[in-house]
């Protein structure tokens, strides 16, 4: 048993039970974005959260314990994504990554946007020409230190 097997079991149970990630998030009291990442093996759940997830997805005690282990982050199977949706994010970074970098450095100075002290909100934005995906990301700015 490992974390990847627990993730596969969660996904299988989610499909079988017809559960939405937003419903799971409400049960543990966190955002659907963070909760989904946790269920997909990218975040560490505390004991209470893990037990709640365990009940929802019929996990045993060993599987619940795996939800509380710090994961190996990064879940893409290849360096260049092959899934069309994920590839568009790769494409977005290829096209706009230098723009993000330039504008962040101009506004904040030399540093990075944290993916640890981070929030994300994904919503549907109705549009008469076809609904849009709206993703808002907010990460703490961390400047490089001199020493």
Task: Pick the catalytic residue from 5, 91, 102, 138.
Answer: 91
Q: What is the mean pLDDT of residues 26-37?
A: 97
Report the Cα–Cα distance between both ends of the chain, in Å, rounded: 44
* Count of helices and strands (H, E) across the chain: 6, 2
Catalytic residue among 8, 12, 75, 88: 88
Q: Let me know if 91 is a catalytic residue.
A: yes
Mean pLDDT of 1-11: 95
The pLDDT score that the predictor gives to residue 82 is: 93
Looking up tokens 């970098």 gives 101
For the purposes of burial, counting CB atoms within 10 Å of the CB of 134, is it exposed (0-12), middle (13-18) or buried (19 or more)? Answer: exposed
Per-residue model confidence as pLDDT tens digits over 56-114 = 999 999 999 999 999 988 888 888 999 999 999 999 999 999 999 999 999 999 999 99
C-alpha distance from residue 66 to each of 13, 38, 91 (Å): 17, 11, 33
Q: What pLDDT is attached to residue 96?
A: 94
pLDDT of residue 75: 82
Instruction: Catalytic residue, from 12, 22, 75, 114: name it.
Output: 114
Tell me how far apart the alpha carbons of residues 35 and 45 are, in angstroms, rounded to a whole number: 9
């Amino acid at each position: 048993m490992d974390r990847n097997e627990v993730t596969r079991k969660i996904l299988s149970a989610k499909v079988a039970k017809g559960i939405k990630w937003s419903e799971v998030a409400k049960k543990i009291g966190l955002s659907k974005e963070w909760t989904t990442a946790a269920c997909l093996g990218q975040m560490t759940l505390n004991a209470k959260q893990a037990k709640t997830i365990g009940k929802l997805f019929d996990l045993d005690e060993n599987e619940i314990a795996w939800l509380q282990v710090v994961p190996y982050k990064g879940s893409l199977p290849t360096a260049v994504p092959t899934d069309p949706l994920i590839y568009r994010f790769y494409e977005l970074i290829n096209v706009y990554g230098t723009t993000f970098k330039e504008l962040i450095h101009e506004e904040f100075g030399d540093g990075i946007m944290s993916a640890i002290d981070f929030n994300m909100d994904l919503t549907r934005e109705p549009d008469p020409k076809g609904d849009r995906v709206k993703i808002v990301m907010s990460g703490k700015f961390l400047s490089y230190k001199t020493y």
